[in-house]
Each structure stands twice: as structure tokens, then as C-alpha cells.
């Protein structure tokens, strides 16, 4: 059986995902569908870091959507997931295309040697900068804990309102806004310190 053709989804598995002690059901679910997500990302020619982002986005979307999902045997669940993956990939490309200087998939056109060397140096510098920012983000995420980080993430990256995030996290809207504000300040401060050192 290939990654593009996972087994038929068992409605019982879907119903177990939101029961207490559902870790085993989620492990089976993720093991079953992660290869499908990764295969569709490779087909879209995404880099491995982007594949990780898409996989996280898809499972986050599924976590929200599956709470109210009712399995219809007349429709393939695999098709439902493929639609979510394809939408996440399209969204990813849209975000990339809005970045200054992004030129897309330019093919095999070779750069003149000085430009190629400069491009390589800039890539190395950017990679180091991103690595520093990733370390800052990981450190802050660990320090603030999952609930505060969830408040920040849901309101800044998932575009939920404070009330929506509060409902998802089981905290008050004011706690969401407080966590978001503190984390933004901390990230700015740490990122600034990281670039100046």
C-alpha cells in the first residue's frame, strides 16, 4: 500500500480521537495520514521545512474540524484530507508570493559567478539568522508553557479572536490578550538581543 493510498478510514477511529486517553487513536491517525500529507507536499515541490509546517497546519485544522465531523461512507475521508492539504499548500504559496523579493520557482537559470557567490553568502547569513530566531522562539515557547503559547499562536497565526482562542483553551479572553502581549514583547526583546550579539 503506497502513501498515496492509505487504508480506508474507520469511523470508529474518528470517534475515538476526542475521547479521554485518545493518544493511541491519534498516533494511529497521524501514522496513517502523515505519509499522505508528505507525499502531496513533495508533489508540490516543497522543501522539508515547509513540509513540516504544512503537516502541522493540516493536523491543527483537522483537530478543529474533526470535533464536528460526521463521517459519510459515501464520501472518501482521504479526499477530505487531500482537500485540506491542498488548501494549506495553496495558502503557503500565497504567503510566500507576498514576501518582498520572492520570485517563485525560477527553473535552472544559472546566476553569474559573483551573484551566485553573493547569493550563497546571503543564504548562509539568512539560515544563521533563522536558526537564531528559531532558538529564541523555542526557548520562549518552553518558558511560557503550552496554554500561554497557544493563546499567542491562535491569535497571531491562526487569526482567531481572543474570545475564540479563550474558548478553545479554556481560559478567559483577558488571559489570552495578556499572554499574547507578554509573548510578543519577550520575542521582540530576545530577537533584538540575538541579532545584536
**Tens digit of pLDDT for each residue in 48-60?**
888 888 888 888 8
CA distances in angstroms from 35 to 8, 27, 175, listed in the order given: 14, 13, 37
Stated pTM of the model: 0.43
Across the chain, what does the average pLDDT equal?
75
What is the three-class DSSP state of 126? helix
pLDDT of 137 higher than 90: no
Q: Determine the Cα–Cα distance for residues 4 and 33; give it in Å rounded to an integer.
A: 9
Between CA 173 and CA 176, with CA 175 as vertex, the angle to 5 degrees is 65
Burial of 40 (0-12, 13-18, 19+ CB in 10 A): buried
Residue 163 C-alpha cell reads as 474570545
Cβ-Cβ contacts under 8 Å for 173 (sequence gap 6 or more): 162, 163, 165, 166
Helical residues (DSSP H) of the chain, grouped into ranges: 11-16, 23-43, 48-65, 77-97, 113-156, 162-169, 173-196
120-126 average pLDDT score? 61
Cβ-Cβ contacts under 8 Å for 77 (sequence gap 6 or more): 8, 9, 14, 71
Query: Predicted confidence band at 7 (pLDDT cuts at 50, 70, 90)?
Result: very low
Amino acid at each position: 500500500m503506497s502513501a498515496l493510498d492509505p487504508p480506508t478510514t474507520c469511523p470508529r477511529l474518528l470517534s475515538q480521537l476526542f475521547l479521554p486517553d485518545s493518544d493511541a487513536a491519534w498516533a494511529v491517525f497521524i501514522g496513517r495520514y502523515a505519509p499522505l500529507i508528505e507525499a502531496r507536499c513533495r508533489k508540490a515541490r516543497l522543501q522539508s521545512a515547509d513540509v513540516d509546517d504544512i503537516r502541522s497546519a493540516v493536523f491543527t485544522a483537522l483537530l478543529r474540524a474533526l470535533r464536528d465531523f460526521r463521517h459519510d461512507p459515501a464520501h472518501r475521508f482521504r479526499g477530505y484530507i487531500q482537500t485540506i492539504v491542498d488548501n494549506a499548500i495553496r495558502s503557503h504559496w500565497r504567503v510566500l508570493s507576498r514576501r518582498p523579493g520572492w520570485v517563485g520557482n525560477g527553473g535552472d537559470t544559472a546566476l553569474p559567478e559573483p551573484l551566485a557567490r553573493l547569493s550563497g553568502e546571503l543564504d548562509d547569513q539568512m539560515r544563521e539568522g533563522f536558526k537564531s530566531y528559531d532558538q529564541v522562539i523555542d526557548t520562549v515557547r518552553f518558558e511560557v508553557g503550552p496554554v500561554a503559547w497557544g493563546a499567542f499562536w491562535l491569535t497571531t497565526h491562526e487569526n482567531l479572536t481572543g474570545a475564540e482562542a479563550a474558548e478553545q483553551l479554556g481560559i478567559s479572553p483577558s488571559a489570552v490578550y495578556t499572554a499574547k502581549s507578554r509573548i510578543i514583547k519577550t520575542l521582540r526583546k530576545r530577537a533584538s538581543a540575538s541579532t545584536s550579539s
